[in-house]
Structure 1
Amino acid sequence: MKTTRRRFLSTSSAISMAGAVSPFAANLAGIGEAAAQSAGDDYKAIVCVFLNGGNDNHNTLVPFDTASYARYQAQRGDLAYQKNALAIGSGSGTPIVAKSGAAMTGIKTLAELVLNPTVALPGGRQFALAPALTSLLPKFDAGRLAVLQNVGTLKRPTVKADYTARNQLPPRLFSHNDQTSYWQSSGVEGSSVGWGGQFGDKLNADAQQRNDIPTFSCVSVAGNALLLTGKETFQYQVTTTGPVPFDPLRNALYGSGTVADALGRIVTGTGSGLFEQEHTSVMSRAIDASDVLNDKLRPAADVVPASNPKYAALLDANNQLGRQLAMVARLIDARKSIGARRQVFYVSIGEFDLHSDLAEKHSYLLRWVADSMAAFYDWTEANGVSTQVTTFTASEFGRTLASNGGGSDHGWGSTHFVLGGAVRGKAFYGTAPDLQAGSLDDVGSGRLIPTTSVDQVAGTLARWMGVTDTQALQVLPNLGNFPLASRNLGFV
Structure 2
Amino acid sequence: MATTRRTFLTNLGAAGIVSLGATPPWFLTRAALAAEKVEKPPAEKRILVLVQLAGGNDGLNTVIPYTDAEYQKARPGIGIGRDAVLKIGDDLGLHPQMTGFKEIFDEGRLAVIQGVGYPNPNRSHFRSTDIWHSARPDVEYTEDGWLGRSLDLHAKRHAGKTPALALGTNRLPLALVCSKLSVPTVQNVNEFQLQLGAGSAANKKLRRKLIGDLANRQSATESDLDFLRKTTQTALSTARKLEKVTATYKPAAEYPTNGLGGKLKTVAQLIAGDFGTNIFFVSLGGFDTHSQQAGAHQGLLSELSSAIRAFYLDLKEHKLQDQVLLATYSEFGRRVKENGSLGTDHGAASQMFVVTPGDKGGLIGKHPSLTDLSQGDLKYHTDFRSVYATILDKWLDISSQSVLGHEFPGVDIV
Structure 2 distance, partners of 1:286, 1:21, is 8
Q: How big is the shift at 1:197?
A: 2.5
RMSD between aligned residues? 3.4
Do 1:303 and 1:333's aligned partners in 2 also have CA atoms closer than 8 Å? no
Do 2:115 and 2:380's aligned partners in 1 also have CA atoms closer than 8 Å? yes
Q: How big is the shift at 1:243?
A: 6.2
Name which of 135, 143, 163 aligns with 1:192. Answer: 143
List runs of 5+ in structure 2 lacking aligned partners: 1-11, 21-40
Alignment of 1:351-370 (within 5 A): 351-370=286-305
Q: How big is the shift at 1:23?
A: 5.0
Q: How big is the shift at 1:374?
A: 0.7
Name which of 273, 298, 312 aligns with 1:334. Answer: 273
2:52 partner amino acid: F
Do 2:245 and 2:269's aligned partners in 1 also have CA atoms closer than 8 Å? no
1:304 equivalent to 2:251? Answer yes
| SS of match in other structure, 2:87 | coil
2:76 partner amino acid: G
Do 1:132 and 1:363's aligned partners in 2 also have CA atoms closer than 8 Å? yes
TM-score by length of 2: 0.81
1:261–1:390 Cα change, 3 Å: closer
Alignment of 1:287-298 (within 5 A): 287-298=236-247
Number of aligned pairs?
Answer: 376
1:386–1:243 Cα change, 3 Å: farther
| SS of match in other structure, 2:80 | coil
1:371–1:146 Cα change, 3 Å: same
Match for residue 47 of structure 1?
49
1:488 partner amino acid: G
Alignment of 1:28-427 (within 5 A): 43-65=45-67, 68=68, 70-84=69-83, 109-110=84-85, 113-116=86-89, 126-154=91-119, 169=120, 173-187=122-136, 190-203=141-154, 217-223=163-169, 224-242=172-190, 244-248=192-196, 274-299=223-248, 302-304=249-251, 310-313=253-256, 316=257, 319-335=258-274, 338=275, 340=276, 343-405=278-340, 406-425=342-361, 427=362
Structure 1 distance, partners of 2:402, 2:168, is 27
Structure 2 distance, partners of 1:421, 1:258, is 45
Structure 2 distance, partners of 1:290, 1:64, is 48
1:249–1:296 Cα change, 3 Å: farther
1:240–1:464 Cα change, 3 Å: farther
Structure 2 distance, partners of 1:144, 1:17, is 35
Do 2:255 and 2:262's aligned partners in 1 also have CA atoms closer than 8 Å? no
Do 2:272 and 2:320's aligned partners in 1 also have CA atoms closer than 8 Å? no
Q: How big is the shift at 1:203?
A: 4.7
Match for residue 26 of structure 2?
none
| SS of match in other structure, 2:278 | strand
| SS of match in other structure, 1:131 | coil
Structure 2 distance, partners of 1:461, 1:41, is 12
| SS of match in other structure, 2:351 | strand
1:415 partner amino acid: Q
Cα deviations across residues 100-140 of structure 1 (Å, max 9, x unaligned)?
xxxxxxxxx21xx1113xxxxxxxx6110001112211211
1:21 equivalent to 2:17? Answer yes
1:451 partner amino acid: H
Match for residue 8 of structure 2?
none
Do 1:23 and 1:282's aligned partners in 2 also have CA atoms closer than 8 Å? no
1:22 partner amino acid: V
Match for residue 28 of structure 1?
none
| SS of match in other structure, 2:288 | coil
Do 1:217 and 1:233's aligned partners in 2 also have CA atoms closer than 8 Å? no
1:199 partner amino acid: S
Structure 1 distance, partners of 2:209, 2:297, is 50
TM-score by length of 1: 0.69
Do 1:390 and 1:423's aligned partners in 2 also have CA atoms closer than 8 Å? no
1:472 partner amino acid: S
Match for residue 472 of structure 1?
400
| Percent identical residues | 26
1:243–1:391 Cα change, 3 Å: farther
List runs of 5+ in structure 1 lacking aligned partners: 1-15, 25-38, 85-108, 117-124, 155-168
Do 2:215 and 2:229's aligned partners in 1 also have CA atoms closer than 8 Å? yes
1:381–1:73 Cα change, 3 Å: same
| SS of match in other structure, 2:47 | strand
1:463 equivalent to 2:393? Answer yes
Q: How big is the shift at 1:352?
A: 0.4
1:474 partner amino acid: S
Match for residue 91 of structure 1?
none
Match for residue 430 of structure 1?
365
